[in-house]
Structure 1
Amino acid sequence: MDFSVVIDYFPRLMEGTWMTVQLVLVSGILGAALALPIGLARHSDKLWIKSLPYSYIFFFRGTPLLVQLFLVYYGLAQFEVVRESVFWPYLREPYWCAIIAFCLNTSAYSAEILRGALASIPKGEIEACRVLGMSKVQMYRRVLLPRAFGMILPAYGNEVILMLKSSALASTITLLDLTGMARTIIARTYTPIEIFLAAGACYLVLSLIMMGGFRLLEKRFNAHLNAKRKPVAKKVNDSSETGSVMTEKVTSY
C-alpha cells in the first residue's frame, strides 16, 4: 500500500469533509427546529392533532433514506408546478435536495425522541406546575422542554452521528461530500484501500468531535443529576463513620 497518495490528495479530502460538515450541520439545525413542533403535536392527547405527525414520522422512519433522497432529487422535478415555482433554482441543485432529504429524515427521528422524553417526565412535576397556576405554554417553556432536552441528549447525539454516516448517501446524487470525493480520487488513482482508510479516519475524527460536544452538553444540562449524587455519597460516608464511632463507644462501655 502506498499512502503517499493520501498526502497528495489530502486537500481534496478536506474539501469533501467540509461538504459533509455543512450537510450535517445545516440539516441538523433545520431538522431540530422542525422536530420541535412535530414532537409537541405527537405528544398531544387529541387524536386529530397527533395523527398527522404520526403519519409523518411513520413514513420517514419506515422508508430508507436513499429512497427519500431520490424522491426529492428526481421526483420533485417531475411536477411542472415545482419547475415553475420560485423554489426551482434551489430544488434543481443536489446540495439543497440533500439538505431537504436529510432534514426531513432527522426531524422524524428527533421528534419521536422528544415525544418519548416528554412522556417519561414524572406526572408529579406536571401536577406541580398546575398547582402553581402555570399555563400550558409556561409549563412547557419553563419545566417540560428543559427537562426533556436534558433527557434526549444521549439519544439525540446518537441520531446526529447516524446522520453523519448517512450523509455518505449524498454522493449518489453527484454531490462531492467526503465519500463522493473519495470515490472520485479512487477513479483517478486506483488506490481504494488507502483512500477509503483515509476517509474512514476523517469520519472517525468527526464522530469523536461530536461525541465530545454532546458529552459537554450533557454535563451542562444534567448538572443537577451529578450534584444530587455527591451529597448522597457524602451522607452514606457520614453515616458509616457515625456508625463506627457509635460501635467504638459501645465497645468501650
Structure 2
Amino acid sequence: MDFDLIVNSFPKLLLASITTLKLLSVSIIIGLLIGLFFALIRIKNNYILGKLAYAYSYVFRGTPLLVQIFIIYYGFGQVEFIRESFMWVILKEPYWCAIIAFALNTGAYTSEILRSAFQTIKPGFIEAGKSLGISNKIILYKIQIPIAIRQSLPAYGNEIILMLKGTSLASTVTLMDLTGVAKYIISTTFKPIEVFIIAGSIYLFLTFVIHNIIKILEKKYSY
C-alpha cells in the first residue's frame, strides 16, 4: 500500500468531487422539475399526454444511463441539423451533455416517485379544500404538491444517492469529475487500489451526508 500516493492524491480527488457535486445538484434540480411536470400529467385524465409521459418514463428507466449519455454526447453530434442549430452550442460541451442525460434519467424516476406519492394523498384533503371554496389550482400548489413531496422524501433520497453514483459515468465523456480524476491518476501511477480507496471513501462520505440530510427533512416534515 503506497501511503504517499494516498496522501498526494487525496487533495486532487477532493477538489474533483466539487465537479461531481455540481453535476449532481444541477441534474437533481432540473430532474425534479421534469419529474413533477410528468407526474402531474400522469395523474390527470388526459389519455394522449398520459401515454406520452409514460413513454418518456419507460424509455429512460428502461435503458442504461451510460447508453443515454453516449447517445446525447456522441449520437447527436452525428446529426447535421443539430450541428447547424443553436442546440450545438450546448450539445458540443461534455458537461452539458452529461447534465442533460442525468436530468432526463433522474426526471423519469422522479416522475414515478411523485406519481405514486400523489396517488396516496387521501381524498379528504382535496375535498376539504373544495368545501372551503378553494380553487383546484390552489389545492394543487398548496395541498397536493407539498404533501406529495413530503411523502416521497424516503424514495427520493434513494434516487439522489443513486444519481450521485451515476455521476461517475460523466468520466466516459471526458469530464474530470471524481471518477475521471481517479482514472487519470491511475493511468500515470498504475496503482488503482490506493486511488479507488480514496475515491470510494469520498463517495461514501457524500452518500452519508445526503442520507442524513434526507433523514433530517423527513423528521422535520413528518406528520
- Normalised by the size of structure 1, how large is the TM-score? 0.85
Distance in 1, matches of 2:90 and 2:11, equals 28
Match of 2:36 in 1: 36
Structure 1 gap segments, 5+ residues each: 226-253
Identity across the alignment (%): 48
How far residue 45 of structure 1 moved from its aligned partner, in angstroms, is 2.1
Q: What does residue 213 of structure 1 align with?
A: 213
Residue type matched to 1:127 in 2?
E
- For 1:196 and 1:31, the matched residues in 2 are separated by 29
Change (3 A) 1:118 1:220: same
Give the alignment's TM-score, normalised by structure 2: 0.96
SS at match of 2:152: helix
- Match for 1:147: what amino acid? I
Q: CA deviation digits over 1:143-172, x for unaligned, max 9?
A: 111111110111100000000001111111
1:189-226 Cα shifts (integer Å, max 9, x gaps)? 1111111010000001111111121122112222xx2x
**Which residue in 2 is equivalent to 1:190?**
190
Q: Is 1:77 aligned to residue 77 of structure 2? A: yes
Letter in 2 for 1:197: I
Within 5 A, what are the aligned runs for 1:232-251? Answer: none
- CA drift of 1:37 comes to 1.2
Alpha-carbon RMSD: 1.1
Q: Which moved more, 1:125-134 or 1:186-195?
A: 125-134
Matched residue SS, 1:215: helix
Mapped partners of 1:134, 1:3: distance in 2? 65
Partners of 1:30 and 1:57 in 2: how far apart?
15
The answer to whether the aligner puts 1:126 opposite 2:123 as a matched pair is no
Gaps of 5+ in 2: none
Equivalent runs, 1:6-25 vs 2, <5 Å:
6-25=6-25
Offset at residue 11 of structure 1 (A):
2.2
Give a deviation string over 1:48-79, Cα, whole Å, max 9, x none.
Answer: 23111111101101111011111100111111
In structure 2, C-alpha distance between the alignment counterparts of 1:151 and 1:109, rounded to whole Å = 15
191-200 or 210-219, larger mean C-alpha shift: 210-219
Cα distance in 1 between the residues matched to 2:90 and 2:58: 27
Q: Supply the AA of the counterpart residue of 2:106.
A: T
2:111 corresponding residue in structure 1 = 111
Q: Report the Cα distance in structure 1 between the residues aligned to 2:135 and 2:107, rounded to whole angstroms.
A: 27
Aligned residue number for residue 63 of structure 2: 63
The Cα of 1:179 is off from its aligned counterpart by: 0.9
How many residues align structurally? 223
Helix, strand or coil for the counterpart of 2:69? helix
Q: CA deviation at 1:102?
A: 0.1
SS class of match (1:158): helix
Structure with higher Rg: it is: 1
> Match of 1:200?
200
Quote the Cα distance in structure 2 between the aligned partners of 1:83 and 1:46: 35
Which amino acid counterpart does residue 190 of structure 1 have in structure 2? F
Structure 2: how far apart are the matches of 1:13 and 1:169? 16
Following TM superposition, by how much is the alpha carbon of 1:142 offset from its aligned partner in structure 2, in angstroms?
1.4
2:27 aligned counterpart, secondary structure: helix
- CA distance, structure 2, for counterparts of residue 48 and residue 128 of structure 1: 30
Q: Measure how far apart 1:117 and its partner are.
A: 0.2
SS across alignment from 1:9:
helix
